[in-house]
Structure 1
Amino acid sequence: MAISWNNLDKLESFKKLQSLKNSVSVAKELSGPDGAKRVAEYSIPMAGGLTYNYAAKQVNAQVLSVLEELAKESQLLEKFEALYNGDVINTGENRMVLHQLLRGQLGKDVMADGVNKREFYINEQKKMADFAAKVHNGEILNEKGEKFTTVCQIGIGGSDLGPRAIYLALENWAKANNTFKMDAKFISNVDPDDAAAVCSSIDIPKTIFILVSKSGTTLETLTNESFVKDFIVKAGCNPSKHMIAVTSETSPLAKSPDYLAAFFMDDYIGGRYSSSSGVGGAILSLAFGPKVFADFLDGAAAEDATAKNADIRKNPALLDALIGVYERNVQGYPSTAVLPYSQALSRFPAHLQQLDMESNGKSVNRFGEKISYVTGPVIFGEPGTNGQHSFYQLLHQGTDIVPLQFIAYSENQTGKDVVIEDSTSQKKLCANVTAQIIAFACGKDNENPNKFFAGERPSSLIYGKQVNPTSIGALLAHFENKVMFQGFIWNINSFDQEGVQLGKVLAKTVLGGKMDGALKAFADLLIK
């Protein structure tokens, strides 16, 4: 069957879905006699020991049936199949989209640049694993013959957010499981205070720096590289003995003598989708060992496989995407809060902000035509229970309804805990997320308007036993695939990001000094 790319508002199933607005009371469903049954039934197994539960979402059998029609009419699985088989899905840049191929092969061989791309990616992973092993066993040492103890990544956007989120997610787990190899630090902001703070906190001679830039021309990253090189020289070291590069084979960094080694990615891997590439692989392999990175890829690959399931009730990423479109385009909810009840995921919401908002923050379709419906929501979040003491007031009683994505685990990573008032800290954490789901959904009646909770705040819950390499890989892939499916439904290109380019161009104009009018006036306020 040929694939058709149609705007959402042209689909008959979407028109049917619009007629179901406000047709389901989640409070009524959960507080009724079949509430417990609903919690059990509205649940889908994920990879990595995770489960996606959508019992607190404003859906029922009728809504799910129409969502299934929408998935079929939008040809979501056919479009996913075209993507992983190497069709040009990134129409804005005329490129394939191959981040799933970094962790496994879902379809046929994909050939590009004269090579089998799966074999190319596997080869780069082996190169990173070999390099990390040599650093760990002392085959690669610093100039004084000492082992490296720290790795520091220099990159911005997707070269920072995803790898940083995953490193933080696994740091305590690795220490508890005796696989922690090296401390990892990150420099991203071109603000010199960022690089200065990091460089002042580490032992420069015992640090390997990873410069991440696919093009080899990213202004902020190259600026920070120069800043770091100055610190290295002042420490009496040769920068070329302390730096490696993650870049493309065609970039000026690829065969430069300024780096100990170079690991390659390509134009088919978008920055925000690059954690499975050398962008995440180099630092995670050095920090935790190559097996941890391999297990992370295995978890992502297993979750990718679930995204091929034609039954939306057995395809967590697809159903999550469909419900999100229902909430955004029918219910009219403008944003989504990501609420991980795990300190390990402290930076995961920040990564999802880029993943979702840079991918689906579009107002024209794949053909450059203006669309007349809303697309990606605003994504924000903070770990629980911190968020409860920050912005939950608005979530519970504010004028906007904000759908919620809870993430929780039954066990912590360190195994350390204490019993206070007859329960452990972990039990208290899980009690909080459980209570919040019901409080948001069901609310609470009270004659005092200030203490009245309307409820009907929908949420979903992704839960598992523990944050570990396999489960974090699966979690990452779930959201990557959710964003992809939503982009297909909205008929937009989720894989370019022209919105980040204009500011970069104007910044170069300012630095070049050839400006006038308001641009010059604002520059004069700040640049002395």
Structure 2
Amino acid sequence: MKKRIAYRESDAHRKLEKLKLSPFDLSEINHEERHSRLHRYIAESQHFSLYYWPQRVDEEILDVLQELADQCDLIGQYKEMKAGAVMNAVEGVESEARPALHTACRDIFAKQPYCQEATDQAAAELDKLRTFLEELGAGTIRNENGESFHSLIHVGIGGSDLGPRSVYEALKPFGSGDRQVFFISNVDPDDTAAILKKVDLRRSLVNIVSKSGTTLETLTNEELVRQAFLTAGLDPARHFLAVTGQGSPMDNPAKYLRTFYMFDYIGGRYSSTSMVGLVMLGFYLGYGQIIEFLRGASIVDYEAEESNIRNNPALLLALLGLWNHSYLNMATLAVLPYSQALHRFPAHLQQCDMESNGKSLGRDGEWVKYPTGPVVWGEPGTNGQHAFYQLLHQGTEIVPCEFIGFRKSQYSYDAVVQETLSQQKLVANLLAQSVALACGRKSDNPNKYFPGNRPNSVLLAERLTPEIMGALLALYEAKIVFQGFAWNINSFDQEGVQLGKVLADRFLEAMIDPEGEEEDFEKSFLKTAGIV
């Protein structure tokens, strides 16, 4: 294994420090040069075209970013990760010290998987899921009254909710039959109550997802749902499924109709292609569609091994993001899908990116002296255009943007209005915003002046299908880990969420009066803070 270095230790970094003083100016290019850049600056893959001409880069900067990728051995580290190297570790301090093998879940298509043992485990769980889905479809598994199940309530939080929920929302047109899925994540009891009002419990399965089997929010919500089933005279053991770690407190056949396993070497935010997402997606989409979903992810996992950054969209996005954030000092990133189906995808990326790369300790055990992960946010277009795009175009804060779009709609339901289809209007808006941010507009009226020079990229695919969604998910996962490698931080733990949990437990203890009465919030706060 080569020594892992941060980008600042590379020779390329010194060159980029000079180049950042005069980055490429997008607002000064003429129509002819824009046309030339449009044709030159495209990274193509099987599923995507990444147009990056509206980034503040030229050939020299791209060449040095290539040097940085090579000198930091980003591709080598990515392959090590896929092969099962210990990635979740920080030198010299206690850490989880385990592999990060989310890619093993979709390496089932390879003749020689990178990590045979992990892929065999993933394949075994897939076989269990296929059998379960076949039994559901054949009517072998039914409720107390002999009726089939048409609803599934997915109960999880964090990585057990955001990724799976975003994929479900994205693939709603591909559902099988009249099945539907509902999600409960927030420990707010109103969230659970609202869902329980929507479903027919008699014909519902409940999928409880927690790797440790001890996640407080998830177990609390599970108990609320169990109480609803018992009140309705239903046996939860005939309705409840578990997705958990083998041997966890939830690995209990007496409580669950079926149990599917998730493994320590797959982090929650990278777990949508494991049983964490596949049980729910299998119920809704059917087995054949989740195989296509996995196939799309697998294709990108191998495409991401391409060492030439101009031919590797995931690596190129990572390096462009590094250039904008670590050199041009742009603190945030807006991910803007021009697809209503992806309306929860930015929320998933907020967790996947910010929980992965929101770190200030290097893998070498030293505090870093440079910015790491950006703040990630976003909303679908064209709604966002009527909300926050004013700041994107004329605000004092420059926000790099990543647009995601599709040439065709999912439902193919459309109509010509004023000579164009709605999908054409959607794509036209995406392209117009990209050009406007990059090029701006000169005007004698300062109120109508647009400075431009605001970097962005456009990721285009043909149509949002299960395979494309799997590819999109894997593309961003690879981008995130490439950036973590470049910053030399551990992208696979999440210690930052633990302190709040510990303090919450102390508050809960303080809320319990020794005489069994509930204390008021103010008194419990003062007691916990040590003031009383």
What is the DSSP-based 3-state SS (H/G/I as helix, E as strand, rest coil) of the residue aligned with 1:209? strand
Measured in 1, the distance between the counterparts of 2:105 and 2:322 equals: 28
Amino acid in structure 2 at the alignment position of 1:62: E
CA contact 1:39–1:55 (8 Å) conserved in 2 = yes
Deviates more, 1:383-392 or 1:250-259: 250-259
Measured in 2, the distance between the counterparts of 1:56 and 1:109 equals: 36
Shift of 1:152: 1.1
Shift of 1:512: 1.4
Q: Which residues in structure 2 correspond to 1:448-527 (within 5 Å)? A: 448-513=445-510, 520-521=524-525
| 1:415-438, Cα deviation, whole Å (9 max, x unpaired) | 111221111111111111111011
Match for residue 374 of structure 1 among 371, 375, 383: 371
Matched, 1:159 2:164: no
Residue aligning to 2:121? 120
Structure 2, gaps ≥5 residues long? 90-94, 513-520
Matched, 1:396 2:397: no
Q: Which residues in structure 2 correspond to 1:405-416 (within 5 Å)? A: 405-416=402-413
| 1:361-380, Cα deviation, whole Å (9 max, x unpaired) | 00110133111000000000
Amino acid in structure 2 at the alignment position of 1:43: I
Measured in 2, the distance between the counterparts of 1:185 and 1:522 equals: 38
| 1:192-241, Cα deviation, whole Å (9 max, x unpaired) | 01000001001111000000000000000000000001111122211111
Matched, 1:295 2:299: no
CA contact 1:181–1:286 (8 Å) conserved in 2 = no
Residue aligning to 1:88? 86
| 1:148-202, Cα deviation, whole Å (9 max, x unpaired) | 0001100000000000000010002x15xxx345101100000001000001001
CA contact 1:445–1:454 (8 Å) conserved in 2 = yes
CA contact 1:171–1:180 (8 Å) conserved in 2 = no
Q: Which residues in structure 2 correspond to 1:33-182 (within 5 Å)? A: 33-47=32-46, 49-91=47-89, 92-104=95-107, 110=115, 116-172=117-173, 174=174, 179-180=176-177, 182=179
Deviates more, 1:204-213 or 1:2-11: 2-11
Amino acid in structure 1 at the alignment position of 2:249: P
What is the DSSP-based 3-state SS (H/G/I as helix, E as strand, rest coil) of the residue aligned with 2:335? strand
What is the DSSP-based 3-state SS (H/G/I as helix, E as strand, rest coil) of the residue aligned with 1:19? helix
Structure 1, gaps ≥5 residues long? none
Shift of 1:412: 0.9
| 1:15-56, Cα deviation, whole Å (9 max, x unpaired) | 211111142012334x34132232122112234x22211111
Residue aligning to 1:227? 224
Matched, 1:339 2:336: yes
Residue aligning to 2:25? 25
TM-score w.r.t. structure 2 length?
A: 0.93
Change (3 A) 1:44 1:131: same
What is the DSSP-based 3-state SS (H/G/I as helix, E as strand, rest coil) of the residue aligned with 2:411? coil
Amino acid in structure 2 at the alignment position of 1:155: G
Residue aligning to 2:14? 15
Measured in 2, the distance between the counterparts of 1:192 and 1:102 equals: 34
CA contact 2:157–2:185 (8 Å) conserved in 1 = yes
Measured in 2, the distance between the counterparts of 1:46 and 1:209 equals: 38
Change (3 A) 1:37 1:84: same
- The alignment covers a number of residue pairs equal to 514
Match for residue 432 of structure 1 among 429, 433, 443: 429
CA contact 1:68–1:312 (8 Å) conserved in 2 = yes
| 1:367-415, Cα deviation, whole Å (9 max, x unpaired) | 3311100000000000000100111111111111100000011111111
TM-score w.r.t. structure 1 length?
A: 0.94
CA contact 1:7–1:371 (8 Å) conserved in 2 = no
Change (3 A) 1:67 1:229: same
Identity %: 44
Amino acid in structure 2 at the alignment position of 1:366: R
Measured in 2, the distance between the counterparts of 1:246 and 1:428 equals: 42
Shift of 1:324: 0.6
What is the DSSP-based 3-state SS (H/G/I as helix, E as strand, rest coil) of the residue aligned with 1:89? strand
Shift of 1:451: 1.2
Change (3 A) 1:404 1:411: same
Measured in 1, the distance between the counterparts of 2:345 and 2:511 equals: 40
| 1:100-159, Cα deviation, whole Å (9 max, x unpaired) | 111016776536xxxx21111011011112212211221110111000000110000000
Residue aligning to 1:191? 188
CA contact 1:216–1:252 (8 Å) conserved in 2 = yes
| 1:37-82, Cα deviation, whole Å (9 max, x unpaired) | 32122112234x2221111111111001000110011011111111
Matched, 1:309 2:306: yes
Measured in 1, the distance between the counterparts of 2:277 and 2:434 equals: 33
What is the DSSP-based 3-state SS (H/G/I as helix, E as strand, rest coil) of the residue aligned with 2:63? helix
What is the DSSP-based 3-state SS (H/G/I as helix, E as strand, rest coil) of the residue aligned with 1:212? strand
Measured in 2, the distance between the counterparts of 1:148 and 1:74 equals: 51
Deviates more, 1:488-497 or 1:314-323: 314-323
Change (3 A) 1:198 1:419: same
Measured in 1, the distance between the counterparts of 2:202 and 2:129 equals: 21
What is the DSSP-based 3-state SS (H/G/I as helix, E as strand, rest coil) of the residue aligned with 1:211? strand
Shift of 1:518: 9.8
Measured in 2, the distance between the counterparts of 1:519 and 1:108 equals: 57
Measured in 2, the distance between the counterparts of 1:46 and 1:163 equals: 25
